[in-house]
Amino acid sequence: MVRACGIAGLSRTAYYRSPDDGAACDLDAPVIEALRTLIDAHGQWGFWKCWQRLRDLGHAWNHKRVHRVYCALRLNQVRRTKKRLPARVVTPLAAPAQLNDTWAMDFMGDTLYCARRYRTFNVIDEGNRESLAIEIDVSLPSARVLAVLEQLVAMHGAPRRIRCDNGPEFIAETVRAWCAHHGIALVFIQPGKPNQNAYIERFNRSYRTEVLNAWVFTTLVEVRDLSEAWRQTYNTDRPHASLGDVPPLTFLPRPTTPALSQFKLCA
């Protein structure tokens, strides 16, 4: 070994020769058999629980040896970890004095009478708390989010920024690229701090109380029809306490054209 390392120019301290597999298996055969017996009976047990059980059964093997065999047999349990998010800067929640300064978006979830789950994607303008869209379906991936935002931008113009949480649909690279293309800043709230997106959270509460919890829906068509009717009432008729008890479009009207009034969001 010394001569071979010298010829190859390798340091003996950095070169390791794997022991003969047959010899290793023969030496570790009792450990392998004991571990396989335990895992066959208790497939969800992790290493330390297996090792403690082996000690209870009278085996005096060192935990390092058992762990080496445990890893060689690929018995390691997959550990679920939370996805790390970059540090988010707290942005003051101040109502803009004009429209299209800041939009807020969020998801909600509910179930039909048949227990089928569905989601809603809600977007409001923080300037007058106007509901811009309530998109409803069983699945709303980032591509669907962009389709809704694309239509809203075509109808009302692009906002200066959009406030949202750290959901996977919002932090997707496609959403970031779309916002950068339109010159829109994405403002992410801190994880676990929904109060930093309080305007959309307050809208969600009203929507859930007056629509989702008030009716029993059997189809998505029913949810969409009633939600759209409520959204129109919310914007034009329903008094809003924080706006001086006037509806959003009375507090701060949005310029519209006949062509835009016929524009429909994708269903």
Residue 82 banded pLDDT, cuts 50, 70, 90: low
Instruction: Order the strands of the 102-111 sheet from edge to edge.
Output: 130-137, 117-125, 102-111, 161-164, 185-188
Closest C-alpha to 235, from 155, 123, 137: 123
Specify whether 26 is located in the same domain as 141.
no
**pLDDT score of 259 more than 60:** no
Specify whether 119 is located in the same domain as 245.
yes
Q: Kindly state whether residue 81 falls inside one of the protein's structural domains.
A: no
Q: What are the pLDDT digits (tens) for 27-70?
A: 889 999 999 999 999 888 889 999 999 999 999 999 999 999 99
Report the 3 state secondary structure along 199-221.
Answer: HHHHHHHHHHHHHHCCCCCCCHH
> Phi, psi at residue 30, to the nearest 5°?
-65, -40
Specify whether 58 is located in the same domain as 116.
no
Specify whether 108 is located in the same domain as 238.
yes
Tell which of 72, 92, 118 closes a domain: 72
Among the ranges given (74-83, 132-141, 191-200), the one the predictor scored with the smallest mean pLDDT: 74-83
Tell which of 29, 55, 72 closes a domain: 72
Specify whether 137 is located in the same domain as 251.
yes
Number of residues that make up the chain: 267
Specify whether 114 is located in the same domain as 31.
no
Q: Kindly state whether residue 15 falls inside one of the protein's structural domains.
A: yes
Domain count, the chain: 2
Beta-carbon contacts of 5 under 8 Å, excluding residues fewer than 6 positions away, are 11, 12, 15
Q: Kindly state whether residue 186 falls inside one of the protein's structural domains.
A: yes
Tell which of 72, 94, 117 closes a domain: 72
**pLDDT score of 258 more than 50:** no
* 67 burial via Cβ count (<10 Å: 0-12, 13-18, 19+): middle
- Give the separation between CA 106 and CA 95, rounded to whole angstroms: 17
Q: Kindly state whether residue 87 falls inside one of the protein's structural domains.
A: no
Specify whether 64 is located in the same domain as 142.
no
Specify whether 120 is located in the same domain as 243.
yes
Please give the single-letter amino acid code of residue 193.
K
Q: Kindly state whether residue 88 falls inside one of the protein's structural domains.
A: no
Specify whether 66 is located in the same domain as 115.
no
**pLDDT score of 263 more than 80:** no
- The per-residue pLDDT of the chain, averaged, comes to 88
Specify whether 255 is located in the same domain as 125.
yes
Q: Kindly state whether residue 83 falls inside one of the protein's structural domains.
A: no
Tokens of 228: 């759209």
Q: What are the pLDDT digits (tens) for 192-246?
A: 899 999 999 999 999 999 999 999 999 999 999 999 999 999 999 999 999 999 9
Specify whether 109 is located in the same domain as 211.
yes
Among the ranges given (89-103, 132-146, 156-170), the one the predictor scored with the smallest mean pLDDT: 89-103
Torsion of CA 52, 57, 59, 62, to 10 degrees: 0
Tokens of 7: 């010829």
Q: Kindly state whether residue 79 falls inside one of the protein's structural domains.
A: no
The CATH number of residue 115's host domain is: 3.30.420.10
Please give the single-letter amino acid code of residue 67.
H
Helix residue ranges per DSSP H, 45-191: 47-56, 63-72, 142-156, 168-171, 173-181
Q: What are the pLDDT digits (tens) for 18-29?
A: 555 555 667 889
Specify whether 137 is located in the same domain as 252.
yes
Q: Kindly state whether residue 233 falls inside one of the protein's structural domains.
A: yes
Among the ranges given (50-54, 73-77, 123-127, 186-190), the one the predictor scored with the smallest mean pLDDT: 73-77
User: What residues make up the domain containing 7?
Assistant: 2-72
